[in-house]
Amino acid sequence: MPILTSLARFISATSLLMGRLVANLCVVIVYVMLGLLVTQVLMRYFLGAPPSWTEELAIILFAWLVLLYATVGLRDRFHVAIETIPAHWGFAYRASERLVALLVLGFGFVTFSAGIAYVDRTSGQNTAALQIPIEALYLCVPVCGALLVLHSVALLIEPVRDPTQALDLP
């Protein structure tokens, strides 16, 4: 049993660390996107010719941002949820939380495997303006699928939090 306890602690700690790292990365992505869009607007206004690569890179970063931050929402439980079973129902509430974590685990596996297959099918193509491999965009799907798997496994092994308690966000 000590090995299982150690493994559970490792998974939980890794999930927490990855959640924090991804949240910080998302902040950086927002600032880079902002810089790209300001650059595009200024060049359109002053030069009359905005570069096309700024918009394309902002779109790629936006795709990464949305999918990455969705995994943080799962980890920190601030994602959209419909509470059909009240927390004071005890066992039923905990069972529903576990069921949701299992469903997300399945979705994460599908996202990961389908994302890998799609990246494989589209490899060799380049983006229109930047001429970088299209994998720079499509890799966000399997990466986020892997993060969903990690976080849902952590949610399955951690005790279910009472939603009436304040969140302890870093």
pLDDT digits (tens, 9 = 90+) for 107-146: 999 999 999 999 999 999 999 999 999 999 999 999 999 9
Helix%, strand%, coil% for the chain, nearest 5: 75, 0, 25
> What contacts 24+ positions apart, CB below 8 Å, involve 128-134?
128/52, 128/56, 129/51, 129/52, 129/53, 129/55, 129/56, 130/53, 130/56, 130/57
Which pLDDT score is estimated for 41?
92
C-alpha closest to that of 75 among 135, 150, 160: 150
For 44-54, letters b (16+ CB in 10 Å) and e give eeeeeebeebb
Report the b/e string of 70-80 with b at 16+ CB within 10 A: bbbbbbbeeee
**pLDDT tier at 147, thresholds 50, 70, 90:** very high
pLDDT band at 98 (very low <50, low <70, confident <90, very high): very high
Where do the structural domains in the chain lie, given as residue ranges?
2-157
Residue 170 pLDDT > 70? no
The whole-number pLDDT of residue 103 equals: 96
Question: How many CA atoms does the CB half-sphere of 137 hold within 13 Å?
Answer: 20
